[in-house]
Amino acid sequence: MKLASSAWLPILSRALAAMVGGYVFTYAFTAALARLLPMDNVDSMLVASLLSFAIYTCAILWAFMARHQWSAWMGAVLALPLAAIGFWPQLLERLG
Amino acid sequence: MKQTITQSLAWLHTWGGLIVGWLLFAIFLTGSLAVFDQEIDNWMHPELPAHHLTDEQAVERGLSYLREHEPNAKQWGVSLPYDRSPELRASTGGRRDGVSVTLDPNTGEVLPVRESAGGRFFFLFHFTLFMPGMLGIYVVGALAMGMLAALISGIVIHKKFFKEFFTFRPAKGQRSWLDAHNASAVLLLPFHLMITYSGLAIFLVIYMPAAMDALFDGSRDAFFKAQDPAPAVVEAKRPAQAEPAPLVAIGPLLAKARDVMGPLSGVSITNPGMSNAEIQIRPILGNRIALIKGGGMRFDGVTGEQLSGPTEMRASVLTHRVISGMHFAQFGGYPMRWVYFICGLISSAMIATGLVLFTVKRRRKYASEGRVAQVLYRVIEAVNVTVMAGLSLACIAYLWGNHLLPVGMAERPDAELTVFFGMWALTLVHALLRPRMHAWREQLGLAGVMCLSLPLVSLLTVDHSWALHSRMGVELTTMALGGVLLWACWKVSQPQVERVPRKKATVLAEVN
């Protein structure tokens, strides 16, 4: 199997987007979901955490299926607002 | 320059894929063996006799020992024999600072039992790989996640996988490996999805602490505390001043606990012989699918009044425990254990065929490359042998070591581990020194012969090994596995004449 000389960078980028970007996205998504679920803390913590591995799987697949090189990193970008939702009280506290 | 980067990336890909496969094989094989951890443990403690005690008699034996030898201990514990283990233990104090002895269930006297790392070793290796600290747990988690993503992407790619499942072309060299690999992957797909997801879910607070960080400020203790339901149903008035008072008859309490929770695993008594005594009775893990730790029922030690339990779990906690329990396979008794064991072994075989395929495919390519590539390829082939044949050899050597090491030696469990890891290291040296096919043949053959002759080792080193059915089961199963290993050995020894005619057939014949 011959890899075109220029193909390695996109593949590396997508692999990183899948593993690192995917984890960051999943982390933020899980935190936000746990925050938003209208349940008791323990319940929403477990529901969100149990789902997180499915979310991570989807995020990994997304990174490889995304049409454009850069949209593979969309998850990592989305992580920022999601994390803000998930860690809203902590954020307010930090901002004083 | 670019060319070398491409090359190094290709190498990374090859290596990455191989290392994942190697580690997954080790995880699946030891995980399959861990299904029968208790049975292997019984085999590794051949001093344990068979017994026919009821729970009531066993508790009585344990308590009379503790009354005689530990009358002043703050806490007594008796762990009961049950259908998987004949061991009766009496202990004092907490789990860490306490002392614990094994009693002969037939006489109630202390039973000298050899020290051993036991069947638990396979269980520990399965999820820690014996790496330092938490590293192993993270590595195993990353592998499980990778496997889950690979399974799902595999389903997406192979939309026709049911058709592939019915495609089997035996005795066609590489084509057969591929078919066997695909068939076992599809057949066991539900098992693979369940076992990887539940494995990840067990450690969700470690692998994905996001929700815990957000809602409990990352405090595991706060989360576990919130998980526990409201405290004790009935909190009887405890006398402030404790005076000597006789312990209530335990028999009726055991019967009551058994009615409510099923088979029991143990009894512990705090402040025995005092007016504030308390009795806790615990169920065995396998009574329900959900994995329950601790829990059980609490009784007043003087009046016998029920104080609390068994704790009811809230739906979300129960869900998590059920998913974890599906991984641990404690439920469903022996039939379920066999299902998990066989599925696990077939998965190991699937990974093994995958690794063989992977290297066979690249053999041609490396044959025509430079010296460094050939040396590296040689190492890969050697590690391939070490991980598959060598690990099998190390596992059976671990069992042999248990019976052959002197019974009274110091640091005995460590010595057993040295046998395991030492043997594994030796198989690597052997695989590096011997030509590839010789290494396969010799290691598979030796592992097979050692498995088949395990009963002989028992016969020569211990008395009445088959007094326990579980020990007989371990030896018979090991012999069957020895047969499989010898079959594999015979298989790789066959000259590969039936090749699919293709252009590169000559190159193949050369490198084989």
Same structural domain, B126 and B17: yes
Of residues B171 and B178, more confidence is placed in: B178
What pLDDT sits at residue B360?
79
**Average pLDDT of B206-219?**
93
- Whole-number Å distance between alpha carbons of B53 and B108: 11
Chain B positions in Cβ-Cβ contact with residue A34 (cut-off 8 Å): 210-211, 214-215
What pLDDT sits at residue B456?
95
Same structural domain, B39 and B68: no
What pLDDT sits at residue B231?
53
Q: pLDDT tens-digit profile of B24-48?
A: 999 999 999 999 999 999 999 999 9
Pairs across A and B, CB distance < 8 A: 107
A50–B201 CB contact, under 8 Å: yes
Same structural domain, B372 and B482: yes
Task: Give the distance from residue B139's alpha carbon to the nearest chain A alpha carbon, in angstroms.
Answer: 14
Mapped onto helix, strand or coil, the DSSP state of residue B102 is strand
Same structural domain, B239 and B357: no
* Structural domain span for residue B442: 11-44+121-202+328-511
Cβ contact A29:A55 at 8 Å:
yes
Same structural domain, B299 and B387: no
Same structural domain, B499 and B412: yes
What is the count of structural domains for chain B? 2
Task: Give the distance from residue B209's alpha carbon to the nearest chain A alpha carbon, in angstroms.
Answer: 8
B227–A42 CB contact, under 8 Å: yes
Name the residue of chain A whose CA is nearest to B204's CA: A49
* Interaxial angle between packed helices B189-202 and B174-187, expressed in degrees from 0 to 180 and rounded to the nearest 10: 60
What pLDDT sits at residue B362?
76
Same structural domain, B39 and B64: no
Task: Give the distance from residue A92's alpha carbon to the nearest chain B alpha carbon, in angstroms.
Answer: 13
- Whole-number Å distance between alpha carbons of A82 and B459: 64
Show the DSSP H helices in B434-498 as ranges.
Answer: 436-452, 454-461, 469-493
Chain B positions in Cβ-Cβ contact with residue A49 (cut-off 8 Å): 204-205, 208, 210-212
Is pLDDT at A59 greater than 50 in this prediction?
A: yes
Task: Choose the mutation target among B208, B319, B364, B366 for the interface with A, i.e. most A CBs under 10 Å.
Answer: B208
What pLDDT sits at residue B419?
97
Task: Give the distance from residue B203's alpha carbon to the nearest chain A alpha carbon, in angstroms.
Answer: 10
B214–A35 CB contact, under 8 Å: yes
- Whole-number Å distance between alpha carbons of B445 and B438: 10
List the structure tokens of B406.
């002197």
What pLDDT sits at residue B386?
96
User: Of A8, A31, A34, which is closest to B5 when you measure between CB atoms?
Assistant: A8
Residue B215 lies in a domain: no
Mapped onto helix, strand or coil, the DSSP state of residue A48 is helix
**Alpha-carbon B253 to chain mean position:** 34
What pLDDT sits at residue B238?
58
B210–A56 CB contact, under 8 Å: no
Cβ contact B452:B494 at 8 Å:
no
Predicted structure pTM score:
0.89
Q: pLDDT tens-digit profile of B446-478?
A: 999 999 999 999 999 998 778 889 999 999 999
- Which of B287, B312, B337 is at the close of a domain? B312
Question: ipTM for the complex?
Answer: 0.92
Same structural domain, B134 and B103: no
Looking up tokens 């997406």 gives B156
**Average pLDDT of B90-105?**
82
Task: Give the distance from residue A61's alpha carbon to the nearest chain B alpha carbon, in angstroms.
Answer: 7
Positive or negative, the Cα torsion across A56, A61, A63, A66?
negative
Same structural domain, B504 and B454: yes
Name the residue of chain B whose CA is nearest to A3's CA: B6
Is pLDDT at A52 greater than 50 in this prediction?
A: yes
Vertex B489 angle, CA B486 and B492, to 5°:
150
User: Of B6, B211, B319, which is closest to A5 when you measure between CB atoms?
Assistant: B6
What pLDDT sits at residue B499?
45
What pLDDT sits at residue B504?
42
- Whole-number Å distance between alpha carbons of B83 and B103: 17
Q: How far apart are the first and last CA of chain A?
A: 57
**B334 touching A (Cβ < 8 Å):** no
For all residues of chain B together, what is the average pLDDT? 86
Nearest one of B283, B252, B281, B249 to B268, comparing CA atoms: B281
Chain A positions in Cβ-Cβ contact with residue B2 (cut-off 8 Å): 5-6
Edge-to-edge strand ranges of the sheet holding B264-270: B99-103, B88-92, B75-79, B264-270, B278-283, B297-300, B306-308
Nearest one of B254, B259, B278 to B268, comparing CA atoms: B278
- Whole-number Å distance between alpha carbons of B13 and B8: 8
Q: pLDDT tens-digit profile of B342-397?
A: 999 999 988 888 888 788 777 777 777 778 888 888 898 999 999 999 999 999 99
**Percentage of residues in chain B with pLDDT exceeding 70?**
86
**Cis upstream peptide for B310 (omega within 30°):** yes
Residues 6+ apart with CB under 8 A from B50: B86, B467, B468
Same structural domain, B433 and B481: yes
Residue B211 lies in a domain: no
Same structural domain, B255 and B353: no
B214–A3 CB contact, under 8 Å: no
**B54 touching A (Cβ < 8 Å):** no
B315–A43 CB contact, under 8 Å: yes
Out of B7-16, B33-42, B70-79, B349-358, the most confident range is B33-42
- Whole-number Å distance between alpha carbons of B41 and B398: 12
A3–B9 CB contact, under 8 Å: yes
Same structural domain, B348 and B406: yes
Q: pLDDT tens-digit profile of B132-177?
A: 989 999 999 999 999 999 888 877 776 655 555 556 666 666 677 7
Positive or negative, the Cα torsion across B1, B6, B7, B11?
positive
User: Of A7, A29, A45, which is closest to B212 when you measure between CB atoms?
Assistant: A45
